[in-house]
Amino acid sequence: MDSDGLQSLLGELPVVSSHCHHLPTDQQQSLDLDKLLSHSYVGWCGLERGSTAAERQRFLDQVGFNTYFVWLSKAVEALYGLGPVSADNWEALSAALRQAHSDPEYHFRLLRERCRYKFAVEDAYWNAGDDLGRPDLFHPAYRINAWVMSYRPGATDHGGNSPWTRPGFDPHSLDEYLDLMEAAIEQAVAHGAVAVKSALAYDRPLSFDNPDVEAARRAFRSDAEQVSAADRLAFGDVVMHRICRACQRLQLPLQVHLGLGIISGSRPMFFEPVIAKYPEVTFDLFHCGYPWCDELAGILHNYPNVVADFCWLPLISTTAAVYALHQYLEVVRSCERIVWGDDTWTSEEAYGALLAWEYVVGRVLGERLQQGLCSASQAERMAEKLMYANAQKLFQRP
C-alpha cells in the first residue's frame, strides 16, 4: 500500500463523527451560498462578502488561504460540480444549493452517503440533548454550560441558556439545584445521550480548582450586584465537580472544549487537575487544545483517562493537525484514544471537514509508512480506528 492507496482507502471507509452542531431541516432548506458561508467557520472571519462580482472577488482574495474556506470550497466543488467557489460561479452555486435543499432529506443523505456516517454525536446547544428526530444518525451529547453558569435566575451561559427558564424550576438550595441537574443528565441519557459536553471555554476560565461549597452557597440565588466574581466562579467549580461525579457514576464520556474560546483561560493545563482528580472518567479533549496541541500531547502521555479529539482542528489549521497527529500517535498510551469529529452546522461543511481529516490521516500515515515507522497493515488498521472504530467504541449506545 502506497500513499495513493491509503488515500483511496480513506475515501471509502465508514465514518463516525464525535461532534457536530447539525442544524434542523428548516435551516438546512434555506441554504444558498451566502447562508452556507454564514453558517460556517468562514463566517467567523467577519469579512464583508458584498453582492457584486468585485466585492466577492475582494472577499475571496482575503480569505482564500484560510483553511476554513479552503475545505468548504473543496466540498462545494466536489458536491456541486461547478468548480471551487469563485465570483464567477457564485450565483450558479447559490441556485444549485437552493435546488438541492428543496428536498428536505437531502442534508441527511449527504451525511449518510457522501460523508459515509454511521452516526455523529450531536451537540444541539439550542436544545440540549436533541437528536433532530433522527436517533439512528445523531447520538446526542448533553451540554452543561447553562448549569455551570446559572447561579441565579436571570444568569445564563454565553448562548443565553439557563435551567431557570424551565417551567416549575425553583430550587431553594444549592444541593437541590445539583440534584435537579443530575436528574436532567440522567433524563438525557434515558433519551439517548452518549456524552456530556462542556463548551465552558466560551464562558469562563477552565480552572475548576476551587470547589468551595460555602462560596458557592453564597453565590446561589444571590443578588447579581452583590455576588463576587470569586463566589460566582466557585459556584461553577462546585457544579463542574458534581458533573464529573455524575459522569463517573453513569459512565458517560465528558467532552471538553479546550483552547481558543476565551483564549486567556482555555489552556489544556488549566483543566489538568480535574483530569487527575477523576481517573475513572473518560475526558474527550476537543480540538487538541489548539493552539496548545503540545500541552495535550503531554496530557495524553501522562493520563490513561483521556481521548485526543481532532474535531475542528483540521479546519482551524491543517498543518497543525498533521503535526499533532504525528506526535499523538507517538505518545498516546493506546491508539484507541484518538478520534475525530466535523464540528459543523451543515452537511457541506461536514463534508469539507471530512476531506480535511482524510488529507491529514492520509498524509501522516503515508509519511510514517514511507519512513519505515509502520507497516502497510498497521497503517490500514490505524486508518480504520481514526475514521470510525475509536469513536464508535467510545460513543456506542449501550
Residues that bind Zn ion (CB under 5 A): 343
Q: Where are the alpha helices (DSSP H) in the chain?
A: 3-10, 25-29, 33-38, 53-63, 67-80, 90-101, 106-109, 145-149, 174-190, 213-219, 229-250, 268-277, 293-302, 313-316, 318-331, 347-370, 376-384, 390-395
- Which one, 130 or 343, has the nearer CB to Zn ion? 343
When CB distances to Zn ion are compared, the closest residue is 343
CB of 42 to Zn ion, least distance (A): 16
- Which one, 201 or 386, has the nearer CB to Zn ion? 201
CB of 311 to Zn ion, least distance (A): 7
- Which one, 22 or 232, has the nearer CB to Zn ion? 22
- Which one, 258 or 281, has the nearer CB to Zn ion? 258
CB of 19 to Zn ion, least distance (A): 6
Residue with cell 441558556: 161
Provide the grid cell at 186: 440522567
**Distance between CA atoms of residues 286 and 206, nearest Å:** 13
- Which one, 284 or 343, has the nearer CB to Zn ion? 343
Task: Give Cα separations from 325 to 24, 96, 178, 348, 367 (angstroms).
Answer: 32, 36, 38, 24, 12
Q: Which of 280, 270, 282 is nearest to 237 (CA)?
A: 270
Give phi and psi for 376, each to the nearest 5.
-60, -40
- Which one, 15 or 227, has the nearer CB to Zn ion? 15
- Residues in contact with 65: Cβ distance below 8 Å, sequence separation at least 6, in sequence order: none
**Distance between CA atoms of residues 389 and 6, nearest Å:** 17
**Distance between CA atoms of residues 260 and 292, nearest Å:** 9
CB of 245 to Zn ion, least distance (A): 24
CB of 344 to Zn ion, least distance (A): 8
**Distance between CA atoms of residues 257 and 269, nearest Å:** 13
CB of 250 to Zn ion, least distance (A): 22
- Which one, 41 or 208, has the nearer CB to Zn ion? 41
- Which one, 208 or 345, has the nearer CB to Zn ion? 345
CB of 142 to Zn ion, least distance (A): 14
CB of 116 to Zn ion, least distance (A): 21
Cα distance from N-terminal residue to C-terminal residue, the chain: 36
- Residues in contact with 101: Cβ distance below 8 Å, sequence separation at least 6, in sequence order: 28, 29, 30, 31, 107
